Chains A and B, each alone.
Chain A
Amino acid sequence: MSRAAIFAKIESATAMVKAKAAYPEYDLSIVHSQPRLQGADLWEIFTRNFSAVNGRAMTSVAELLDFLKQSSQLHGYCDPLLYDDIGAQLAAAGLVVETEYHRDRYDDYQFGITRASGAIAESGTVIIDDDRTSHRLAALSPWVHIAVLSRGEIHRSIPDAIAAFGESPNIIWCTGPSKTADVEGILIEGVHGPGEQIALVI
C-alpha cells in the first residue's frame, strides 16, 4: 500500500518538473585532491595522510612489538592466518596472543590484529571488508587495532577505491582512530572503536 502510494506521489511530483536535469557526465579527477596525492610512492603518500589523521603506519613486527609494550597493551587477538607472521613473534616476546575471539570476554583484548583488504593513499584510509576480516568485533572492540596489508593493495584515490568495491556486502573505511568532538568541540579519540589505529604493511 505504502509502496504504490509513494511511487504514485513521486510520479505526479516529478511530472510537474518541466526541465528535467540530465545526469552530468563528469571526470572523477575533479574530486582528486592534488596536494594530498603528491608523491610517487603509494605507501609514502598513504603514510603521510594516515599520520595526519593520527593513524600509525608501521613496517615491521618489531616496531609493533615496541609500541604495544610501551603502551602496555599486552593481551590481544590475532587472526589465525596472520599468526605465523605476526602473532607468534609477539607471543615469543611474552605477550598473550589468542587466535580465537570470545565475545563474552571482549574486554580482555587490548589489541586486535586483523587483515585489511586495502588502503587509500589519498585519504590515509584503511579498508576492511567481510571477506578478509576474521572477526568484525576483533577489529573494533580492542583499544589498538592493527590492520595488516600489503603494499600492492593500496589504492591511489577515493574514486579508485570505490571502483574496486567488489562483491563484499560490508566494507568499512577507517580513516584514523574512533573520535568525537561532541563535548564542547574538544577532540577525544577512542569513543566506541579503537583509540589507536595502526596499519602494518607486510
Chain B
Amino acid sequence: MIGIQPIDQYARDISDEKQASVIDGSSKGTEKRYHSLHQDYPDPDAIRKLAASIKDHTLHHLGEYLAKAEESLTARGVNVHYASTDEDARQTILAILRQHGVTQLTKSKSMAAEEIHLNPFLIENGVECLESDLGEFIIQLDGDEPSHIVKPIIHKNRRDIAKTFVREGVAADYNDDPETITRRARVFLREKYMQAQAGITGANFVCADTGRLALITNEGNSRFGMAPVQVHIALVGIEKVIPQEKDLAVFLNLLGRSATGQQLTVYTEFINGPRSANQPDGPEHMHVVFMDNGRTDVLASNCREILRCIRCGACQNVCPVYRQASGHAYRSTYGGPVGAVLSPILFGSRFPELADLPKASSLCGACNEVCPVDIPIPDLLLRLRDKAKKESVPSAGAIPMSPFATLATSPSLWRTAMTMSKAMNHLPIQVAPIKPLQDWLGQRTLPDSKGGDFRKWMKTHQADAARAGKAP
C-alpha cells in the first residue's frame, strides 16, 4: 500500500497474541479508575482543573521554582546536579557512581532513566544495574522495551514471562502461575538489593519549598532498593517541580486514581536528604540530577501544556489507536497520546521521523477527558500536525489521513464532525464512501464516540464562570 505510516505498519504487523494482551491490559480497570474519582468526589473536573493550573503556574515560573528546589535540597545535604542532555545525564550518573566506588546497583522504574537508556550504558561501563520493578525486570531480562508508562509488560502474557525466567536462570523450571512468578522474582531480587551499593530512582514530584521528592510504587521496590545501600541517586526531569508540599495532596489523590484506580499507591515515599543519624539503614549520600533533555524545547513550544503530565498512563488506556497498535508503535519511550505529543518535540532531532505520531489519532478526545491534569491532547496534536505542515516534513500517510486532517484543521468543521460522530455510532461507517477512511478503519475498531461531550461541558462551564463573574 502506498503511503502507509510507520505506526499503521506496526498496527498491521502486531501479532494477535500481543494485541490481545494490550487490549485486555489497557481496557481492564477503566471502570475502576473512573469510579475511584467519581465516587469520591462530587466534581472531579474541578480537581483536574486545579491540578492543571498549579502545573501551569509552576511551568511559567519554572526558573524560580527549580532554583528554590535546589536551594532546599542543598540545605539538607543533598548534592544537586544538572544535565542538559541525555549524554550529560549518563556521564553525571556514572561519575557519581565512580566517586562512591559503586559497582552494583538496583534501579526502580523511572521514565526519565528509560528516556536516556541508562541501563545499557551503565552495564557497558562495568556497573551491574538491575531493574527492580517486576515489569521492568522482565523487560530487562528480555532486552525488550516497556510499552506502557504504568504497566511496562502490558504486551506480554504469563507464558512469555515463565519462559524468560527459565531461559535467564531466574527459575529452574517452567511455571506460569502469576503468584509463583512474583515469588521467584522476590527471592531473586532480594539478594540483589542486599548486594547493591546504590539505588537509582526517578521522582514523581519535587516540592520546591522543602526539596522533598515524592516517589510512588506499589511493589515497594524503591523502598527496598534504598534501605540497604549507601548512595541514592534520583534522576528527575526539571518539569517535576511543584511549588509546595501542600500541593502534593492534589496530585497524589489524582495520580493513584488515574493510574490504577487506587486512592493512593501503596508506597508513597517523601525524601529530602540522606538518612537520619539514628537510622541504621538507608543512604548516607543523596544526589539529585535535574535533567533537561529537550524539556526546555517543549517549554518554548506551543505544546508546553504536555509538560503538566504526571505519567499516569490513563490516556494510553483509553486510546483506541494505542490499544490496536501497542506502545511500541510509537517508537520512543513515551507511547500513546502523551507520547504522540511529547516524543516528536522532546526528541526534536527525530521530529521528521516521528511526525506520523501526531497524525495517528482519531481525535476522539478520550485522552483529554481522562487526563488528571487536563492536557488538551487533541488540540496539541493539531498544533503538531500544523508544525509538520509548515516545516514541510515529508511523511508517509498524508493521503490516508487527509480527511481527518481537513476536519482537524478547521475548528467549525471539527465541531460538526464531533457532533455527527455520535450519529456515526449508529451508522455502518466501514462502508462510508471514503476510500482512505476505509483503509484506516480496516485496521481499527473505534470506540463509541462521546461526540465531544467534554467540549460541551467546557463551554457551559465557561459560560457559568463568566456569569459568576470569574475568569474560567
Which A residues lie at the B interface, using CB under 8 A? Answer: 1-3, 5-7, 9-14, 16-17, 20-24, 26, 28, 30-31, 33-36, 49, 53, 101, 103, 106-107, 122-123, 125, 130-131, 133-137, 140-141, 158-159, 162-163, 165, 168-186, 188, 190-194
Contacts of A35 in B (CB 8 A): 39-40
The answer to the question of B450 belonging to the interface, with a C-beta cut-off of 8 Å to chain A, is no
The answer to the question of B279 belonging to the interface, with a C-beta cut-off of 8 Å to chain A, is yes
Asked if residues A9 and B292 are in contact (CB atoms below 8 Å), the reply is yes
Contacts of A23 in B (CB 8 A): 54, 57, 243
Asked if residues A106 and B46 are in contact (CB atoms below 8 Å), the reply is no
Asked if residues B282 and A191 are in contact (CB atoms below 8 Å), the reply is no
The answer to the question of B245 belonging to the interface, with a C-beta cut-off of 8 Å to chain A, is yes
**Please, how many angstroms separate the alpha-carbon atoms of A176 and B63 in the complex?**
38
Chain B's closest residue to A178 (CB) is B220
Contacts of B82 in A (CB 8 A): 2-3, 6
Asked if residues A5 and B253 are in contact (CB atoms below 8 Å), the reply is no
Q: A172-B269, A175-B263 are in contact. Are A188 and B274 (CB under 8 A)?
A: no
Asked if residues A13 and B300 are in contact (CB atoms below 8 Å), the reply is yes
Asked if residues B57 and A2 are in contact (CB atoms below 8 Å), the reply is no
Asked if residues B83 and A2 are in contact (CB atoms below 8 Å), the reply is yes
Asked if residues A10 and B267 are in contact (CB atoms below 8 Å), the reply is no
- Partner pick for A185 among B25, B66, B290, CB 8 A cutoff: B25
Q: A162-B245, A191-B220 are in contact. Are A182 and B135 (CB under 8 A)?
A: yes
Asked if residues A14 and B268 are in contact (CB atoms below 8 Å), the reply is no
**Please, how many angstroms separate the alpha-carbon atoms of A185 and B392 in the complex?**
43
A-B residue pairs, 7 tightest by C-beta: A193-B220, A169-B273, A9-B296, A13-B300, A136-B281, A33-B40, A182-B135
Question: Can you identify 5 A-B contacts, CB atoms within 8 angstroms?
Answer: A23-B57, A30-B47, A53-B262, A183-B178, A190-B183
Asked if residues A14 and B266 are in contact (CB atoms below 8 Å), the reply is no
CB proximity to A under 8 Å, residues B28-55: 28-29, 39-42, 46-47, 50, 53-54
* B327 nearest CB across to chain A (Å): 14
Chain A's closest residue to B134 (CB) is A182
Asked if residues A180 and B182 are in contact (CB atoms below 8 Å), the reply is yes
Asked if residues B40 and A170 are in contact (CB atoms below 8 Å), the reply is no
Q: A2-B82, A31-B249 are in contact. Are A178 and B218 (CB under 8 A)?
A: yes
The answer to the question of B221 belonging to the interface, with a C-beta cut-off of 8 Å to chain A, is yes
Asked if residues A123 and B276 are in contact (CB atoms below 8 Å), the reply is no
Contact bitstring B270-304, A, C-beta under 8 A = 1, else 0 = 11111110111110000000101000110110001
Q: Which one of B153-161, B336-344, B380-388, B394-402 contacts A?
A: B153-161
Asked if residues A22 and B266 are in contact (CB atoms below 8 Å), the reply is no
Contacts of A106 in B (CB 8 A): 190, 194
- Partner pick for A13 among B186, B260, B299, CB 8 A cutoff: B299
Contact bitstring B193-230, A, C-beta under 8 A = 1, else 0 = 11000000000000000101000001111011001100
Among A6, A9, A20, chain B packs the most CB atoms within 10 A around the CB of A6
Asked if residues B300 and A137 are in contact (CB atoms below 8 Å), the reply is no
The answer to the question of B24 belonging to the interface, with a C-beta cut-off of 8 Å to chain A, is yes
**Please, how many angstroms separate the alpha-carbon atoms of A136 and B220 in the complex?**
12
Q: How large is the interface on B (under 10, 10 to 19, 20 to 34, 35 or more residues)?
A: 35 or more
The answer to the question of B424 belonging to the interface, with a C-beta cut-off of 8 Å to chain A, is no
Q: A130-B279, A136-B282 are in contact. Are A191 and B185 (CB under 8 A)?
A: yes
Asked if residues B267 and A172 are in contact (CB atoms below 8 Å), the reply is yes
* B51 nearest CB across to chain A (Å): 10
**Please, how many angstroms separate the alpha-carbon atoms of A106 and B189 in the complex?**
13
* A41 nearest CB across to chain B (Å): 20
Contacts of B81 in A (CB 8 A): 2
Contacts of A7 in B (CB 8 A): 63, 66-67
Asked if residues B249 and A28 are in contact (CB atoms below 8 Å), the reply is yes
- Partner pick for A169 among B46, B179, B182, B271, CB 8 A cutoff: B271
**Please, how many angstroms separate the alpha-carbon atoms of A165 and B47 in the complex?**
23
**Please, how many angstroms separate the alpha-carbon atoms of A5 and B264 in the complex?**
37
Asked if residues B263 and A183 are in contact (CB atoms below 8 Å), the reply is no
* B95 nearest CB across to chain A (Å): 12
The answer to the question of B181 belonging to the interface, with a C-beta cut-off of 8 Å to chain A, is yes
Contacts of B25 in A (CB 8 A): 184-185
Asked if residues B219 and A175 are in contact (CB atoms below 8 Å), the reply is no
* B440 nearest CB across to chain A (Å): 29
Q: A103-B194, A140-B223, A172-B268 are in contact. Are A26 and B50 (CB under 8 A)?
A: yes
